[in-house]
Amino acid sequence: MKTIHIGEKLPNTKYDFRETCFGICERDNKILLVKKNHELSLVGGGIEKNESKIETLNREFMEEAGATIKAAKPLCTVDCYWLAAGHYPLRSLSNVFVVSLDENFVPPTEKGHKPVWVDKNKVLKHLLLPYQIEGFKAFLNANK
């Protein structure tokens, strides 16, 4: 899996570390995003202890979108140094997959999450997290 490096590690700065998995699902030229607190993001989140990347994807898709993954293909990893919330030093290692889903959706199991299909050409203007932006750019470049 290709690794994309973004951000710079600042000298004399202690970074917390978080490894995540995100899935990109496309249907009819639209991408499945999740809406929470008026913000849109790719479906996914942090890897829990003793959980594989695929297990993380399956859990996150059920929690956030009420969807079951049929297949997942690795796309890239984004290794990102950034300041979360503008001041919290964080190194995020985000594993990005292209996923296909079963047809049946159920309500998400995590409160406050709503699945939303967004036109593929408008997704970048909605994403806020740097590693999700770079992962989605890699998806667009792979599908040119």
Determine the Cα–Cα distance for residues 106 and 111; give it in Å rounded to an integer. Answer: 13
**pLDDT value for 21:** 98
Give the DSSP letter string of 33-84. EEEETTEEEEEEEEPPTT--HHHHHHHHHHHHH---EEEEEEEEEEEEEEEE
Determine the Cα–Cα distance for residues 61 and 42; give it in Å rounded to an integer. Answer: 10
Determine the Cα–Cα distance for residues 54 and 50; give it in Å rounded to an integer. Answer: 12
pLDDT above 90 (res 130): yes
pLDDT above 80 (res 1): no
**pLDDT value for 40:** 97
Q: How many CB atoms lie within 10 A of CB 3?
A: 10
Using alpha carbons, select from 103, 78, 100 the residue that is nearest to residue 90.
78
CATH number for the domain harbouring residue 105: 3.90.79.10
Q: Are 45 and 95 in contact (CB under 8 A)?
A: no
The whole-number average pLDDT for the span 18-35 is: 97
- Containing H/E element for 90? strand 88-101
**pLDDT value for 31:** 98
Chain centroid to CA 52: 15
Q: What is the pLDDT of residues 95-111, one digit of tens each?
A: 999 999 998 888 888 98
Domain residue limits at 28: 2-142
- Looking at the DSSP bridge assignments, the partners of residue 92 are 18, 80
The average confidence (pLDDT) of the chain is: 95
**pLDDT value for 81:** 97
**What total of structural domains would you count in the chain?**
1
Percent of the chain exceeding pLDDT 90 equals 88
pTM for the whole thing?
0.95
